[in-house]
Amino acid sequence: MQALALALCALQLCPAVRGGQRWQPFVLERPQRRMLSQVGGFSWKNCGNGTDPLVIKSLSVEPDPISIPGDLKVSVAVSSEADLSSPLKAVLRMEKKIAELWIEIPCIDQIGSCTYDGLCNILDMAIPPGTPCPEPLLSYGIPCHCPFKQGAYSLPPTDFYLPALELPSWLTNGDYRVQATLSHEGKQLACVNVVLSLHSG
C-alpha cells in the first residue's frame, strides 16, 4: 500500500482526508502553475519478480475520470508475507508519453522520478507516533507506522474528497505512468505500476 500511495503522491494526488477533515495538499510556491481538473484512465499492476512479500491483491478507484475538486471512492486489499521495518526506501520512476515514446521525468522539487529514503521517518512526521491512525485506517485496523506486521489488510469502498490541486507548469496534460518500488536494505519488498492521464486548466 505504501508503494501505491507514494506513486500517487508523486503526482500530488494523495486523497486529502484525515478523520473526516479536508487536508490542504503540499503546494510549492512557484510561478507558472496550473490547476489540476481531471484524472482519468487509471490502471495498475504489480511489477515484482514473483517473490516480493508485499503485493496488492485488488485496487479500485472510481469514478473514471475523477473531477478535481471532487469525490472519489477507493477500495484496496494488500497482503504482506513479512514484517516491514525501518529503514524503508521508495524509488519512483515517472514517465510521460510523448508520441509513441515514454520519456522519464526527472526529480524536480520532490516531484517526478524521486527516491525517498527513511520512509518510516516520513510517516512519523506526517502522523506523530503515539497518535491514533487517521480514519478510515483506524476503523479497519490498517497501521500507519513502522513496523508493519505481516498479514492481510483491506479497505472496503470508502469515499474521499480531493481538494483543488496545483501542478507545476512542466507537468502538462497527457498520459503518465509511475513505477513505485519499495525496499529494505537493498531487498525489494514490492513493485507497483500505475498509469493515468492528467488534465489541467
Q: What's the confidence (pLDDT) of residue 28?
A: 38
Confidence at residue 17, expressed as pLDDT on a 0 to 100 scale: 38
Q: Do 166 and 34 touch, CB atoms closer than 8 A? A: yes
With the CA atoms of 96, 97, 99 and 103 taken in that order, what torsion angle do they form, in degrees rounded to the nearest 10?
Answer: 50
Are residues 198 and 174 in contact, defined by beta-carbon separation less than 8 angstroms? yes
**pTM, two decimal places:** 0.80
Of residues 161 and 15, the one with the higher pLDDT is 161
Which residue type sits at 139? Answer: S
Q: Looking only at Cα atoms, what is the longest distance across the chain? A: 49
C-beta of residue 79 within 8 angstroms of C-beta of residue 87: no
Averaged pLDDT score across all residues of the chain? 85
Architecture of domain 2-200: Distorted Sandwich (2.70)
Arithmetic mean of pLDDT, 19-39: 58
Q: What CA dihedral angle connects 58, 154, 2 and 185, to 10 degrees?
A: -100
Q: 93 is written with which cell numbers?
A: 520512476
Q: Is the pLDDT of residue 172 over 90?
A: no
Domain range list for the chain: 2-200
pLDDT at 51 over 80: yes
